[in-house]
Structures are given as structure tokens and as C-alpha cells.
A and B are shown apart, each in its own frame.
Chain A
Amino acid sequence: MTGLAMPKPDAATLARRAEIVADMKIIVPGEGVVDAVNGMRAFESDGLTAYRQLPLVVVLPETTAQVARILKYCNDRNIRVVPRGSGTSLSGGALPLEDAVLLVMSRFNRILDIDYANRSVTAQPGVTNLGITHAVEQEGFYYAPDPSSQIACSIGGNVAENSGGVHCLKYGLTANNVLGIEMVLMDGQVLRLGGKHLDSEGYDLLGVMTGSEGLLGVVTEVTVRILKRPEAARALLIGFPSSEEAGQCVADIIGACIIPGGMEMMDGPAIRAAEDFVHAGYPLDVEALLIVELDGPGPEIDHLIGQVEAIAARNGSTACRISTSEEERLIFWAGRKAAFPAVGRISPDYYCMDGTIPRKELPRVLAGMREMSQRYGLGVANVFHAGDGNLHPLILYDANRPGELEKAEAFGSDILRLCVEVGGVLTGEHGVGVEKRDLMGTMFTEDDLDHQMRVKCAFDPNHLLNPGKVFPQLRRCAEMGRMHVHKGQMPFPDIPRF
């Protein structure tokens, strides 16, 4: 992956840079165009900082009309475009290209409509995830999907990545909470998908836009569902001697028809790093820690909390604390929420992976990781969205030591291959981007990928929007359009027909 091959920069575009910059300044007057190297540095990478590239020019439009003009201009002149929200992607989805306009959506920062009767908020795509909740919390409402990056990441980026969070087991991912979008196609056409009503009159294009990583269109407006805050929430902090027991506890909770608001697991190294950092009072003599949060009306929580405690005990828990106040609940979470920076303290660098597995395969996958950890000579700490099987192994390495980054990446790829092998997938919520692009073949056949690419061809036939991301190889749409079927005999002539 370190030797990542990106689409070859288009020499004609590079040669016309001055003219393109000048034209962008006409479309987006004022401060909306950044073309000095110093200014562009701030945009040279996203949350996957191992990759850096200066773009051709950075453009920060403010209106849908400007976005439409920019895209049409670029489409007509065969210029590539990379959309960017807040740049927190962990998979390099917003990584610039040398010959591409970087279209930064951060000035689209207004809430357009708050509608409590229909429980919806319409926002511009640059509004942060948390900004939506802030806009409605005085009325007791919130926006449910809560990626840990929620203070920074944009709602447009959330749509592009179909982001999750610790509460998505019960409340769903971005895809389940978005009602509608306005978007611009690469040819400049503005479309509306969905709205305050439910479902589509035709194909579910909103569904395919969600999680399309900026390859199909630029999102210029988002309408989301908001929910009333649950009356209360309490958390249990449960320690186990091994991840097997913790995993079985998770299965038994769900088997008892209980769907907690959140259910997170940490392994020994992650527990110790977090405890050292935030002193949340995590037990240090356990190898797996579960945080189970129950939310809803008080009597429901009271009814379930004892059941969860009993299930934990039956599975051999060696420590169990139940939060008795809001402060205590937040302390339980503090360690988990700080897990990434905590690991950052014990290692010069870490590399965050994001595979999902069927939960029952957890012991096998953790054992596999321990073996790899020895083989590569690199440490690994695990935090895990236990309810839905989404793993975040953090591989510890030191980028200053020659070869370690490459080793960490190879380790990461091995983990993801193992996830696929046990019936899981390469990425649960961080996206493919450039990071997992070249692993797509471990999960998909060529026909599988071609059908995905056909969606791309319907939206952006010239591959100008965010090329080099998601797909290991770009095939020309016209070529893929050819069909390889031949006139043939009637199949299975011996089956009954009428």
C-alpha cells in the first residue's frame, strides 16, 4: 500500500493550472480559492496521514450553483475533482490528487431547517455531525449516529462514508438516518433524492449514494431524522478473564432479546493504555472489558440491568460496576472514547484498522492477531464495537524506524484478510478509500466489482470524481459496456416448462 499507485496525472491539466485557477476565482470570488503551496498544505492529507499530496488547487464553494458550475467546468475539460468535508477520513478518501481540484465543502456550514413535527433537520453538508445535535438539543432531540470524530466530521462526509458510531447497533448507521439529499452530478446537474418523506419513487439512489465515498456526486444538502433523547441511560462496566467469555456474554445478552444502546469491548492492552491515560477506574487484572449501555425509560433500564448483570456473572465476569450517576456513566465511557489517543501515548504511531466479523469468530480472530503480532514484532491493542462485530485493531509502530510503516501495513492487510476469511468484511465504517482499495479483490470477484463500477458509470462515466479511490483498477465504461453473451441453446431443455 505504501507504494500506492494513483491515476497518472494528466499532463494537459497540469500545464493549464494557471488558467484553471483563474477560472475558479471567477466562479468562486473572494477567499474561496487557495492556490499558494502554503495554504494548500493544510489540505494535503486526511485522517490517514501516511499519505500526502498537494492538489492542483483548493476551491471552497459556498452555494450549490457554484458547485454545479465547478463540476461542469471540470467535466467539460476533463479535469479531476476530489470532494472533501472535514478531512477526518481514516481511509484516504479525501486524499488530493496532483491534477485534481480539491472541492472543500466546509463553507456549507448552515442549518437550513429544523422541523420538530416531522423530526427532521436539513443542513448544509459542511455542518458537523455534532452541530446537528447542538441545533436541536435544547428541545431534547439529537441525531443518533455518533462517530467518535463527531465534533469535527461533516454530515456530508458522514453520508459519503455511511459512518457509524457506538450507538448504531440500536439506532442504525448514517444510511438508516438520512431522509434526503441534494447532490450535484459531475456534469453539473443538480438532483434531489428523498426529502422529508420516506422511501424512493424509483431506484434507491439515496441508498447507493450513502457510503459511495465521493465517487458518485457531491452532496450539497442533507436531511436527517432526529430523535428524542432517551429518558435515561446507565452503563455497566464488566471485566472478564478472556475475550471468549466476554464474547459469549455479548451473544447471550442479544440472545435474551436485549439490544443495548451501546456495547463496546476492549482487550488487555487497550484497557491498560486507557486506564493509564484517563484513570477511569477500569479493572487492570482482566483481559477483556465490556461497556454495556442501556438507554430508554427508567423502569426499562431497571428491569434490564439486573438481567445483564446476571448474564455477565453466568459467563464468568470477575468485575462488574453499574453506573449510579450520569458522571459515573461518562467516566466509564471516558476510557473507551480516549482509546485512540491513549494508545497514541504508548506508541509513537499507530495504525487503526476497521474490519467487521461475525461476532462468534472473535476468539479465532484475536488469536490470529496475537500470532501476527509476534510474527511482525509489532504490538496491537483492540477496541471493538462488540454488538455488531466491528473491530478496531490499533497496530503500534514507529514510523521513524525504517520499514516499520510497511510492516504495520502488511500486518493490517493480514488482519483484514483474516476478517474476510471468517465471513466478515474489509471495512465496517471507515471506508475503502485508498487504504483498502487493493484488498477489494479478497472480497469481490471481477464481476462483483464490475457491477459496482457500472453504478459509477451511470453517475460519472468519465471517472473524473475522486478517481483512484475504492476500485483497484479503473476500467473504461465504454469497454465494460460490451456484453459477452452469445446466442445459445435454450438452457436445461429437460426441465418442465409450460
Chain B
Amino acid sequence: MTTFTPTTSAEVLEAVRWAAGEGEPVEIVGHGSKRGIGRPLQTEHAVDCSGLSGVTLYEPEELVLSARAGTPVAEIEKLLSERHQEFAFEPMDYGPLLGGEAGRGTIGGLLSANLAGPRRLKAGAARDHILGIHAVSGRGEAFKSGGRVVKNVTGYDLSKVMAGAWGTLAVLTDVTFKVLPRSETETTLALRGLTEEQAVAAMAAAMGSSAEVSAAAHLPETVTGKVLDGALSSRASTLLRVEGFGPSVTYRTEMLKHLFSMLEIDAIDETPSRTLWRQVRDVTPFADGTARPVWRVSMAPSDGHRMVMALRMQVAVDAFYDWQGGLVWLRMEGECEAATLRALVKRHGGGHATLVRASFSERVAVPVFEPQPAALAALAARLKTEFDPKAILNPGRMAAAHAVAGADRHATGG
């Protein structure tokens, strides 16, 4: 077992070249905070990118920040907040959910997992804010894509391909992100006591209003007591966040109160509101120190709760909703029930389900990422082969087939 600990991109290139030359698979790791996600790897060697650290450019007026891929996200967020800026996509922290510490994770890992948060609905995910990358592909070649400016259509957008690739195509060495001003203040309205169906309708109405709601989540009765130290008691809470300049937030909050005047509403002020959304973002209600399976399901906002309703008829499950109902977090009380869940997702309009927390044996046995239709899976495998012909970078983490794609090609002399 060799762990390479490069501190420069040249050393990353060296390490990958060696691995490619030997045909030796390597695990690509930052802080390892999301190591529990994906099909378990069986590599002898690892490239630990955490030594590849440091912000290399930060120009607040230009709304741009570049850092080496191993830079801690926490360090960057601190730097940004000093200038009243942030990553607008609100990257979540998987640490506590997966039984680890909070506040770990590198910027390269953030992009590789395409992190997002409650503002995904309005501001997008990491994929929407990445401007440029430098990386080393599994071919042992360094390349770049994009740049440092927001508007850029010069060539294919390989930066987006790296978003959510979980280190299976290339090792990131440098990344450049768009950053944005942080809102001056925020208020959250909690609509109380709605059923899931009512909540989904209310969230759709709020998102379709001109109140510019920046997050919409629904915590059913079983979940609502697990945030803000139980301050929301045990009645279901449908949460609508309004962010911006003070007078605007006041005005838009009133607009929403008017829209839902027939409902019981609590207003949550800035400080608890920030805490609340961090807890929704980081799935605090299910960060229970257990290894019970947790799914992250993305569907059309109006479909999610129907799928959950049907699922509840078959298995014991706890659920809550973000993204207007389109992001469903599920905690299973027993087995992960992948086939049942995925069949229901398909039946209720489609989307994808990722098994983000599960035991080692379940991660070996069950496809962690939603299996793709054959033609799409074949295209993804071809892309993997183009970037990593010998399947040396995190082979099999996303799809078992990728682990052998390269071997195949190798055998046929390609």
C-alpha cells in the first residue's frame, strides 16, 4: 500500500503516470470525508491530494476564486465570509451524516461530488459555479479547461464533466469558482401542520410567486423535532426562506404571509434561520450516528412525495424534503431496499436515487448510483475509457462496469 502525498501538480502528474505505466489502480482522496459514498474501492494505492493546498487567487470585485484542489473548503469559506461573499450553491457537509466530523472536505472533493444545498433550486450546484479546472487524466496527461471568467464557451466544458465524476476521470489539481455576495439577512417562514401533499402545493405556490424564495423544504412530523433543538416541536413544518437586503426581505416575507394567510405561520429570525438551513442542508435529522441506510433521491418537485407515499406502504422509512419537494432524503429502518425504491422512483416520473449511507456489504452488493439505461451507460463507459483507459482512477466507484472498461480495451490491444 503506497500513499502518494503530492504537494504540486507536477507531483500529481508523476504519481498518475507511474500508476498508468504500471496499470495500478489508485484511490483519489482529499480529506476522505466522503469516502463512504460509492462502491468500495479495492486499490492498493492512493493519491492523497490534501497536501495540494492553498488559495491562489481571490478577487472579490471580480467574483472569482482559485485554489489548489486539496484546499480545505472550511478555509475558503472563512476567507469568503471576510469579504461578505460565499459559494452561492451552499455546498453541504456530508461529514456528520456519514459518522465523521463536521467541517472537513477539500474543494476538489466538493466539485467531484457536485455538492449543493437548499439554494440549489435558485442558484444551482457546484457544476453551475465552476469556471475552470486543471487536472491530470488517467492517461497521465495534464490538461485544463475553462478559465477564470464567468462567460466562456471556448471549447467543451470539461469542468462540468468533473462535477460529480467522483474522481473517476481525472485528478483535479486546481479549480476556479465563481463566488457571490452573501445576503445581508434572511428570514424563514414555517407553515405549520401541513400534510405532505399540501406542503408540496404550498412550496410550488411560493416558488412560483415573485417573493424570490431561496429555499423550500418540508419536515414531516417525525423529523421536525430534530432541528433547532426541538424548537419546532412535533408539528410538520414547511420552511420557506427569504434572503436579501433588509427592506426587501421584510417586504417579501409579508407577501408570503399574505399568500398563506389562511395557514398557521411562524417566522424564524436570521440567526436560527441560518442554523436551521445548515441542518436541513447537512441532513442533521438523519445524522444519528447509526449506519442505517440513507438515500438521496432527486425527482421533479411534485413527484417526490407520491413516491414516498407508495414506498411507505412497503417498507419502514423516514423522509424529509428539500428543493421544493424534489430532493427526498430517506432513512430506511431496515435494509436499503434499492430495487423497491428505484422501481417506485421510475413509476412516479423518474429521477435518480443515490445510496449515500450504507454498510460496506450493501455498497458492494447494490449499485450506489442510479444505474443508467444501456445506451447512456455505454456512453458513460466510453467517456471513462477515453479519460482513463486503464481504469486506474477510483475504478468502479460509480459503476462496476467502469472498473473493467479499461481492462477490456487493453485486452483487445486498444
**Do A and B belong to a common assembly?**
yes
- Whether B370 sits at the interface, judged by CB under 8 Å, is yes
**How many angstroms from the CA of A497 to the CA of B3 in the assembled complex?**
5
What is the bound-complex CA distance between A297 and B245, given in angstroms? Answer: 11
Whether the pair A202, B399 counts as a contact (CB closer than 8 A) is yes
What is the predominant secondary structure among interface residues of chain A facing chain B? loop
Please state if B151 and A197 are interface contacts (CB–CB under 8 Å).
no
With A358-B148, A451-B137, A488-B21 known as contacts, the answer to whether A470 contacts B155 (CB < 8 A) is: yes
Query: Contact between B21 and A452 (Cβ–Cβ < 8 Å)?
Result: no
Q: A231-B210, A444-B155 are in contact. Are A175 and B128 (CB under 8 A)?
A: yes
Partner of B5, one of A198, A302, A432, A496: A496
Residue in contact with A448 in the complex, picked from B22, B144, B376, CB distance below 8 Å: B144
Q: How far is the CA of A429 from the CA of B4 in the complex (A)?
A: 40
Bitwise, A354-395 to B at CB < 8 A (1) or not (0) is 001111100000000000000000000000010011100000
Contact yes or no, A455 B379, CB < 8 A: no
Q: Cβ of B153 and Cβ of A429 under 8 Å apart?
A: yes
Q: List residues of chain A with CB under 8 Å of any chain B CB.
A: 115-120, 140-141, 161-162, 164, 168-169, 172-173, 175-176, 185, 189-193, 195-205, 207-208, 210-212, 228-231, 251-252, 254-255, 257-259, 296-300, 302-304, 356-360, 385, 388-390, 423-432, 436, 440, 443-445, 447-452, 454-459, 470, 478, 481, 483, 485-492, 495-498
Q: With contacts A198-B327, A203-B383, A299-B248 known, what are 18 further pairs, Cβ within 8 A?
A: A115-B300, A118-B301, A173-B151, A196-B301, A197-B352, A198-B298, A203-B164, A210-B160, A228-B210, A296-B248, A300-B247, A358-B149, A388-B149, A388-B151, A448-B145, A451-B145, A452-B145, A452-B158
> A202-B399, A360-B61, A448-B144 are known contacts. Are A297 and B300 too (CB-CB below 8 A)?
no
- State in angstroms the CA–CA spacing of A444 and B14 once bound together: 21
Verify B152–A425 contact, CB threshold 8 A: yes
A116 CB contacts on chain B under 8 angstroms: 204, 208
Q: Which residues of B contact A458 (CB under 8 A)?
A: 379, 382-383, 385-386
Cβ-defined contact, A491 with B372, below 8 A:
no
Question: Assuming the A-B contacts A297-B252, A360-B62, A425-B152, are A201 and B209 also in contact, with contact meaning beta carbons closer than 8 angstroms in the complex?
Answer: no
CB distance from B270 to the nearest CB of A (A): 16
A440 to B182: give the CA distance in the assembly, Å.
36
Give the nearest-CB partner of B14 in chain A.
A491
Chain A residues within an 8 Å CB radius of B17: 485, 488, 491
In the bound assembly, the distance between CA atoms of A233 and B208 in angstroms comes to 18
Does A356 lie within 8 Å of B149, measured CB to CB? yes
Within 8 A of A (CB), among B168-222: 169, 180-182, 184, 201, 204, 207-212
Name the residue among A168, A425, A426, A449 with the largest chain B CB count within 10 angstroms: A425
Which residues of B are found within 8 Å of A229, using beta-carbon distances? 210
B residues contacting A by CB (< 8 A) are 1-5, 11, 14-15, 17-18, 20-22, 59-64, 84, 114, 116, 120-121, 124-125, 127-128, 137, 139-145, 147-158, 160-161, 163-165, 169, 180-182, 184, 201, 204, 207-212, 244-248, 250-252, 255, 298-303, 323, 326-327, 349-352, 354, 369-370, 372-373, 375-377, 379-380, 382-383, 385-387, 389-390, 398-399, 414
Closest to B372 in A: A202
Q: Across chains A and B, which 9 residue pairs bring their CB atoms closest together, nearest first?
A: A207-B160, A257-B181, A300-B248, A201-B352, A491-B14, A196-B300, A201-B370, A428-B151, A454-B386
Q: Choose among A252, A423, A428, A485 the residue with the greatest number of B CB atoms under 10 Å from its CB.
A: A485
When the two chains form their complex, are residues A485 and B140 in contact, meaning their CB atoms are under 8 A apart?
yes
* Interface residue from B156, B182, B302 paired with A118 (Cβ < 8 Å): B302
On whether the beta carbons of B248 and A488 are closer than 8 Å, the reply is no
In this complex, the member of A258, A423, A458 whose beta carbon has the largest number of chain B beta carbons within 10 angstroms is A458
User: Are A483 and B143 CB-contacts (below 8 A) given A176-B128, A431-B153, A491-B15?
Assistant: no
Which residues of chain A are within 8 angstroms of B160 by Cβ–Cβ distance?
175, 204, 207-208, 210
7 A-B pairs with CB atoms under 8 Å apart are: A117-B301, A191-B376, A207-B160, A211-B157, A358-B59, A455-B156, A485-B139
User: Which one of A140, A443, A447, A456 lies within 8 Å of B143 (CB-CB)?
Assistant: A447
Whether B125 lies near A199 (C-beta < 8 A) is yes
User: Contacts A208-B156, A356-B149: A304 and B245 contacting too (C-beta < 8 A)?
Assistant: yes
Contact at A297–B154, with CB atoms within 8 Å? no
**Given the known A-B contacts A448-B143, A452-B145, are A443 and B154 also in contact in the complex, defined by CB atoms under 8 Å?**
yes
The one of A164, A172, A211, A228 in contact with B208, judged by C-beta atoms closer than 8 angstroms, is A228
Point out the residue from B61, B143, B180 that lies within 8 Å of A255, measured CB to CB.
B61
Q: A436 vs B154: C-alpha distance in the bound complex, in angstroms? A: 9
Contact assessment for B3 and A498 in the assembled complex, using a CB-CB cutoff below 8 Å: yes
Q: A108 to chain B: closest CB distance in Å?
A: 21
Complex CA distance for A156 and B109, rounded to whole angstroms: 33
A240–B298 Cα gap in the complex (Å)?
49
What residues on B are CB-neighbors of A164 within 8 Å? 151
Task: Evaluate whether A203 and B380 lie within 8 angstroms (CB atoms) in the complex, with A297-B252, A428-B153 already known.
Answer: yes
Whether A483 pairs with B389 at a CB distance below 8 angstroms is: yes
Closest to B168 in A: A203
- Distance in angstroms from B332 CB to nearest chain A CB is 19
Q: How far is the CB of A34 from chain B (nearest CB, A)?
A: 30
List, in ascending order, chain A residues with CB within 8 A of B252's CB.
297
Contacts A425-B149, A459-B379; A208 near B61 (Cβ below 8 A): no
A360 and B145 alpha carbons, distance in the complex (Å): 22
Q: Which residues of A contact B298 (CB under 8 A)?
A: 197-199
In the complex, which of the residues B137, B154, B210 contacts A427, with contact meaning CB atoms closer than 8 Å?
Answer: B154
For the complex, give the distance between the alpha carbons of A238 and B141 in Å.
49
Complex CA–CA separation, A200 to B125 (angstroms): 11
A123 CB to nearest chain B CB (Å): 17
Q: Evaluate contact between A487 and B22: CB separation under 8 angstroms.
A: yes
**Most chain A beta carbons < 10 A, residue from B15, B157, B158, B201:** B157
Complex interface: chain A residues within 8 A of B153 (CB): 161-162, 211, 427-432
User: Across the two chains, which residue of chain A brings its CB closest to B144?
Assistant: A448
Q: Are A358 and B350 in contact (CB under 8 A)?
A: no
A residues less than 8 Å from B250 (CB atoms): 299
Residue among A176, A299, A445, A486 having the largest count of chain B Cβ atoms under 10 Å: A299
Contacts of B245 in A (CB 8 A): 300, 303-304
Cα distance, A445 to B134, chains bound together (Å): 12
- Nearest CB on A from B224, distance (A): 24
Q: How far is the CA of A459 from the CA of B63 in the complex (A)?
A: 34
Q: Within 8 Å CB of B373, what residues of A? A: 191-192
Contact A296 B158 (CB under 8 A): no
Among B140, B323, B352, B379, the one with the most A-chain Cβ atoms within 10 Å of its Cβ is B379
Beta-carbon contact of A255 and B156 below 8 Å = no
Chain B contacts of A447 at CB under 8 A?
141-143
A451 touches B387 (CB 8 A): yes
Contact in complex: B2, A208 (CB < 8 Å): no
Question: Which chain A positions have C-beta within 8 A of B377?
Answer: 202
Inter-chain contact A429/B151, CB cutoff 8 Å: yes
Kindly state the separation between the CA atoms of A379 and B211 in the bound complex, as whole angstroms: 46
CB–CB B128/A172 < 8 A:
yes
Q: Max chain B CB contacts within 10 Å: which of A192, A257, A450? A: A257
A431 to chain B, nearest CB (A): 6
Closest to A487 in B: B21
The answer to whether A199 and B114 have CB atoms under 8 Å apart is yes
Alpha-carbon distance A123/B303, docked complex (angstroms): 20
* Chain B residues within an 8 Å CB radius of A448: 143-145, 155
| Contact yes or no, A117 B149, CB < 8 A | no
Partner of B375, one of A189, A359, A429, A490: A189
Judging by beta carbons under 8 Å apart, are A204 and B398 in contact?
Answer: no
Q: Would A450 and B143 count as touching, CB distance under 8 A?
A: yes
- Most A CB contacts (10 A, CB to CB) among B114, B156, B369 go to B156
